[in-house]
Amino acid sequence: MPSLTAVPVGGPPELIDHYLPMSGGYDEMRTADGELRPHWQYFLDALHRLGPSGIESRWREARRLIRDNGVTYNVYGDSQGMSRPWELDLLPVLIRSDEWAQLERGLIQRAELLNQLLLDLYGPRTLIERGLLPAELIDAYPGYLLPCHRIQIAGDRPLVNCAVDLTRTPSGAWRVIGDRTQSPSGSGYALENRVVLSRVMPSLFRDSHVHRLAGFYRTMRRAMTRLAPRHGPAARSVVLTPGPSNEAYFEHAYLANYLGYSLVQGADLSVRDGALWLRTLGRLERIDAVLRRVDDSWCDPLELQEDSQLGIPGLVQAVRAGNVTLANALGSGVLEHPGLMAFLPSLCQHLLGEDLLLPDIPTWWCGNPEHRARVLDDFDALVIKPAGNPPGQRCLFPGQMEATARAALIDQIETEPHRFVAQEYVVPSTSPVLIGRHLEPRPTVLRTFLVAEEEGYAVMPGGLSRVALERDTPMISNRLGGLGKDTWVMASEPERQETLLGGADLLTPAVIQESEVSSRVADNLFWIGRYAERAEGMVRLLRITIFKLSERQGYLRSDDTARCINVLLQTLTEQGQVGGSTQRYRHDPTPELLALVADPHHVGSLPQTLQALGLAAWSVRERLSADTWRVVNEIERHLHALTRNPPTEIGRALDELDPLVTALVAFSALTHENMTHNEGWHFIEAGRRLERGLNTASLLRRTLSQVGGEHEENLLIEAVLSVTDSLITYRRRYQAGTRVGALLDLVFRDETNPRSLAYQFVQLERVCRAMPSSEPAGERSVIDRLILQSLAGVRLAEIDRLIRPERTGVKRIALQRMLAKLENQLTALSDALTAQYFRHEEQPHALLGRAVRGPR
């Protein structure tokens, strides 16, 4: 590689002077003698040219991209929950191309071996019959699913994709520390790591001749197409996710978008007539192949885990009938049994006639008496893994245990030896991490990914490297925190750029009919529209209320101003956004208003509405564009700012609300402009228009029903125009001052004003007409009738009659009744939409540990 500048041998001193490889292990950047490995020199030269400020700016840019793209990984017990951002180290792991080629051969052989092993365990079981595998090792393992025995797999590749975790011995040789074969995660994060680093260091990435990743995902898409029982344009593949609560939900949505598949949950699917169907609003759509991210035992509550609410009842039967194929095949989790590593060398000779090219860490299964004796003799130097626990969750280190716990573990091993596996403890290899302005070594594990081709397996060139934050940690796992790293396999010449877009080799037609949305997706989209509009309306009403209150506390202390403020406060109260109207609230509303702005525990507060918006958006993340998702993240940042550092005075509350309303308007604009106006968008738009109609009707009824003095009504009219963002139009259109009739003409009846009541009904009529309907031709549904009645009422209303007060001159009874009727009709419309589209049919689940879904 060309050198950017002449630097001292060994790299730029300000970066690596303090870099001391950990003793007893292999370091990716430096040899045991302290010499810099040659393939790192070019990269370090480039960092030296950037300097501390350049490195810091790129680190900030990388964090911004991750934040804006909504890249998250939920670490259990982390207070940030689903909002915890993915942590990415700026330095990749560098691997020479020739070294990778050798590793690739070993990975392909291993995938072939595991696939043959899986076919035998769920087929003839000759390995057990011939004594090459103990029956107890397999049959006592929870990952072996007896209902899946003898299920035929099309193409004889039940192991469609898999992942292999690797580290290096002190000599630099690669060793396998674990296999992931159920629903291997991490490939989406590897892709996102690559996207981020190639953007923040484009020239360095280009000049390093890094192998590209797009070809791997093209192979994955071809593999899913081959799996489908129905070939051709009619074949349909989906990504099955456990849902937004899963720690890797970002990756599920990301891969679904990248591969062009629908992201579905178990509740979206149904087995009928022995086939798998996606329940959409208009019809059932046949599903042929499923890239699943739900673990084996949770996929079917009828034949597997009976209390599962993540799976699809009858899925095993549909697979058994050959009407749908899963990647990976159900039951493939048995290959994750750590005890299998003790038998793989002999199995490789038996099944493939070859020596195992990529050895495992020395492993002993305690169910074998000889192995158990070996383990107990060298107990303190080994790592004990209870077989059956989730991989990577619980490893025991006898040498670090107290005497009582150590003795108890020995007793467990002697009582139930088949449940325990021991492995030799290997000091993990290390790679450089940027700590402050210096590089420091940290323990690293490389996860590699493979996918089935027609003949053999393809390996992702690189993978996901994971780094522990502490030097002395005994385990490295995403679930325990740490950093992600990109992995660069460097070619000797420039790589051809690849993309998933287009490509003559894809086995899919040029144009595919866009999928309709499921009931769950439509429900969330509808409430995205409602919550976004509710939050925006609340912010606008809060702003004008706080502004009027500030005026009153300042230089305006008239009774008319006080009555205007009181009406606005009552409007907040009536809309259920302020908890009660006590004498204390009437006397000093400031504490209640501040709680409404920033207290997430206050009923109906702004933070509660924003949290609900974020949850609904997260549930349909794959349907929102990248720009829209950046605005969602911006709204979440405002939410965190409000709740973590709440304003203590109303003046500062205004400063917080102004940028928030801008972000909310941007969100609405992007969903309108960046989403195709298809079935899904119709539900967002219906939710937005319905909520805006309710807010506007409530606002007009509360502020205009009571007749007041001229100055008082002028103040209220100006407040209403500010809340409805119609003040400038009003001043240009009506030259005779502020009048109730003119206000109603603009905000009640004008069908060209996006903030008017009439406009909301016009839009509701348009979008609801485009929704799927089960009514016979020529018949009007309840939804149609409600909208037509409401729109006709607005169009036929006589403004002069509405504004005319009753005989006593105190109230405008006609206006009050009209607005109350419209509110009731909008509420009935919401109920009708829910009944028509959002009520999911019940699925047969055991009544154990059921989680009750609360109201919206």
- The more confident residue out of 479 and 836 is 836
pTM: 0.86
Give pLDDT, residue 438.
Answer: 83
Q: How many residues does the chain have?
A: 856
pLDDT category of residue 273 using cuts at 50, 70 and 90: very high
Give pLDDT, residue 844.
Answer: 43
- DSSP one-letter string for 416-468: SGGGEEEEE--PPPEEEEEETTEEEEEEEEEEEEEEE-SSSEEE-SS-EEEE-
Spell out a b/e string for 239-271, using b for 16 or more CB atoms within 10 Å of the CB, else e: bbbbbbebbbbbbbbbbbbbbebbbbbbbbbbb
For residue 183, how far is the Cα from the chain centroid? 16
Question: Using one digit for the tens of pLDDT, what is the confidence trace for 569-602?
Answer: 888 877 655 544 444 455 678 888 888 899 998 8
Listed in order, strand segments (DSSP E) in 41-173 are 93-96, 161-168
Q: Is the pLDDT of residue 153 over 80?
A: no
Strands 237-240 and 262-264: parallel
3-state secondary structure of 400: helix
Q: How far apart are CA 38 and CA 30, in angstroms?
A: 9
Identify the weakest region by mean pLDDT among 105-109, 235-239, 555-559, 674-678.
Answer: 555-559
Among 450, 607, 425, which Cα is nearest to 112's? Answer: 450
pLDDT category of residue 252 using cuts at 50, 70 and 90: very high
Q: Quick one: average pLDDT of 119-129?
A: 95
Q: Is the pLDDT of residue 675 over 90?
A: no
Identify the weakest region by mean pLDDT among 79-83, 421-425, 625-629.
Answer: 79-83
The top-scoring range by mean pLDDT among 248-257, 389-398, 506-515, 562-571 is 248-257
Q: Is the pLDDT of residue 19 over 80?
A: yes
Q: Quick one: average pLDDT of 731-741?
A: 81
- DSSP one-letter string for 256-321: HHHHT-EEE-GGGEEEETTEEEEEBSS-EEEE-EEEE-S-GGGS-TTTS-TT-SSS-TTHHHHHHT
pLDDT category of residue 809 using cuts at 50, 70 and 90: confident
Q: Is the pLDDT of residue 510 over 60?
A: no
DSSP annotation of 332: G
Q: What share of the chain is helix, strand, coil (3-state, %, to 5)?
A: 50, 15, 35
- Lookup: tokens for 474: 């005994």
Q: How far apart are CA 310 and CA 300, in angstroms?
A: 8
Identify the weakest region by mean pLDDT among 8-22, 135-149, 690-704, 752-766.
Answer: 8-22
Q: Is the pLDDT of residue 7 over 60?
A: no
Q: How far apart are CA 239 and CA 217, in angstroms?
A: 14
pLDDT category of residue 82 using cuts at 50, 70 and 90: low
Phi-psi category of residue 462: left, alpha or beta, with phi > 0 → left and psi -120 to 50 → alpha: left
With vertex at residue 523, the alpha carbon angle to CA 596 and CA 682, rounded to the nearest 5 degrees, is 100
3-state secondary structure of 179: strand
**Adjacent-strand bridge partners of 467:** 444, 483
- The more confident residue out of 103 and 548 is 103
Q: Quick one: average pLDDT of 233-251?
A: 89
pLDDT category of residue 188 using cuts at 50, 70 and 90: very high
Among 563, 663, 570, which Cα is nearest to 617's? Answer: 663
The per-residue pLDDT of the chain, averaged, comes to: 86
Give pLDDT, residue 488.
Answer: 96
Q: Is the pLDDT of residue 271 over 80?
A: yes
Give pLDDT, residue 475.
Answer: 62
Q: Is the pLDDT of residue 553 over 70?
A: no
Give pLDDT, residue 722.
Answer: 92
Give pLDDT, residue 426.
Answer: 85
Give pLDDT, residue 67.
Answer: 86
Give pLDDT, residue 734.
Answer: 87
Give pLDDT, residue 503.
Answer: 44
Residue owning tokens 């400031």: 590
| % of the chain beyond a pLDDT of 90 | 59
Question: Using one digit for the tens of pLDDT, what is the confidence trace for 448-503?
Answer: 999 999 889 999 999 999 998 877 765 666 555 578 999 999 987 666 666 554 44
Give pLDDT, residue 28.
Answer: 94
Q: How far apart are CA 837 and CA 221, in angstroms?
A: 32
Question: Using one digit for the tens of pLDDT, what is the confidence trace for 348-402?
Answer: 999 999 999 999 999 999 999 999 999 999 999 999 998 875 544 578 899 889 9
Tell me if the bond preceding 328 is cis, omega within 30° of 0: yes
Question: Using one digit for the tens of pLDDT, what is the confidence trace for 746-782?
Answer: 999 999 999 999 999 999 999 999 988 777 766 788 9
The top-scoring range by mean pLDDT among 28-37, 222-231, 328-337, 651-660 is 328-337
Give pLDDT, residue 8.
Answer: 36
Give pLDDT, residue 496.
Answer: 63
pLDDT category of residue 562 using cuts at 50, 70 and 90: confident
